[in-house]
Amino acid sequence: MRLDFPPKYTEVIGAVKIHSLQKVYEIDSGYGTKTKNSQLNNSTISFGNKKISKICNEMAIVIPVKNEKLSLLEGVLSGVPNECLIIIVSNSQKTPVDRYSMEVEMVKQYSQFTNKRIAIVHQRDSNLGRIFHKLNYSSILDNYSQIRSGKAEGMVIGILLAKMHGMKYVGFVDSDNYFPGAVNEYVKIFASGFAMSKSHLSNVRVCWRSKPKVANNRVYFPRWGRISEHSNKYLNDLISYITGFERDIVTTGNAGEHALSMSLAENMDFSTGYSVEPYELINILEKFGGIINETTNSTKDFVEVFQIETRNPHFHENKGDEHITGMLYESLNVINNSKICNTEITKDIKNHMIMLQHKANNGSIKLNGNNNDHIMAPINTIPIDKFNELVIDSPQLLHLFNVQ
C-alpha cells in the first residue's frame, strides 16, 4: 500500500498527535518494496505485502453482527486477509428463529474452504455475563447481570478475546458492507497506519471516500454520511476551543472501521452503544491531552491518531432513518457529556439534540440519551489469564475454527 507521507499537518494536544487525512495512492504496492523506493520524493511511503502480512498476523479483526444476511457476512469475511484472526461477536436473535446457530454453521463451512482463523461468540450468552460478573467488570452488565446489547459492548468483548489470543493490534469492521474489496482495503489501511506509527499507542481511523446512494435511477457519491458531517463538526469545534485556533482536522468522528494498538485499547474507557467511535477520540483527549490531567509528551507514551481515506466507496445496508437518528443522537450526547466540552459547544449540541428529539417524537422514535451512566472501564482491570481460564471452562461459549 502506498500513501502520502508525511501527513500534511499534525495537531498536537498534550501527548496526542492527530494527523490530517492521508490519501491512498496504491492499494497494493507490490510484494517487497525496496528500501530506496519505500519513500518516494519525500511525498509518499509504501509498505509491501510482506510488511502488511507481518502486521496482519498480529492483528485481530472484530466484526460485530446483528441479524445480518448470511451472504453479506460471508462477503465481509472473504475480504479479511487470511493472516488475521477474525472474531465475530454476534447479537443476533435466537428465537423464534435461531439466527446465531445459522451464523455458526455458515462460519464452520466457510472456514473449511479458507482455513481462516475464526472465533465466534454470542454477546448475550449468559455464561459470558457470569464471567464478567465473576471478574467484577460490572460496567458492561445491565441490571440483570447480563451484557447490554450495544455495539460498544460487543467491541469490548472482541478486544478481550483478541488480547486472550496474544494479538498486538485489534481492528473493527462492520458486518453490513456489500464490497469485500473495501473490507480488504480497510485492513491494509490499519496495517499501514501501525507501520507508520512511532508510538505503541496508536489509533487508525478510516475515512470513506464516498457512500454511494441510488436516486432517480442514478448512482451518486456523497462525500459525507449523515452522522459524520455533524459529529466531525462538533469534534473540530472542541479541538478549536482547546487550541484557540479554528480547526477542521477531524474527518473520522464516526469511523466504524478503525483499529487500535492493544496497548491503547486496553487502557481506554468505552462508551456504550453507537457513541463508541466519537468517544474514543474524546477519551484519548481526556486521558492524554493534558487538559484535565497533566501529561508528559514523551516518545514512549504519546498517542498517534491516523486518518486515512479509502479508494473504495463504502456501500452498506440501509438501516433507515430511525437508526441514523438514534446513532447521531448518541454521538452528540457523548461529546456533550465530555469533561472537556465548553459551554458554547454544549449549547449548540443541546439545541441540535432538541431538534433531533422533536424529529424523533414526530416519528415515534425512541432515543437513548444518558450515555454518561454507561462508560465501560478499561479492560486492563481484568486479569486476562483468569478470563482465559473462565472462557475455557465454558466449552459451549466460544466456537473456534482453525484457532489453536
Structure confidence at residue 201 (pLDDT)? 97
Chain segment 215-274, per-residue pLDDT in tens: 666 765 565 556 778 889 999 999 999 999 998 999 998 888 999 999 999 999 999 878
Mean pLDDT of 113-125: 97
Q: Where are the domains of the chain?
A: 2-401
For the 2-401 domain, the top CATH level (class) is: alpha beta
Structure confidence at residue 307 (pLDDT)? 97
Contact 88, 114 (CB under 8 A): no
On the question of pLDDT at 43 being above 80, the answer is: yes
Torsional sign, CA 84, 89, 90, 91: negative
Phi, psi of 390 (to 5 degrees): -70, -35
What is the H or E stretch that residue 392 is in?
Answer: helix 384-392
User: Helices in 176-307 by DSSP H: which ranges?
Assistant: 180-196, 228-243, 262-265, 276-288
Chain segment 280-294, per-residue pLDDT in tens: 999 999 999 988 765
Mean pLDDT of 80-93: 98
* Distance between CA atoms of residues 285 and 179, nearest Å: 33
**pTM to 2 decimals?**
0.91
Chain segment 288-318, per-residue pLDDT in tens: 998 876 554 444 689 999 999 999 987 766 6
Chain segment 307-362, per-residue pLDDT in tens: 999 999 877 666 556 667 777 888 888 899 888 888 788 888 888 888 877 776 66
Task: Please name every residue paired with 10 in a beta bridge, in sequence order, or none if there are none.
Answer: 19
Mean pLDDT of 39-56: 87
- Determine the longest span between alpha carbons in the chain, in angstroms: 61
* Distance between CA atoms of residues 398 and 70, nearest Å: 19
Contact 245, 237 (CB under 8 A): no
Q: Which of 240, 290, 253, 307 is nearest to 19 (CA)?
A: 307
Structure confidence at residue 296 (pLDDT)? 46
* Distance between CA atoms of residues 207 and 250, nearest Å: 10
| Helix, strand and coil percent figures for the chain, each rounded to 5 | 40, 20, 40
Contact 60, 158 (CB under 8 A): yes
44-46 vs 85-90, strand pairing mode: unpaired
* Distance between CA atoms of residues 402 and 100, nearest Å: 19
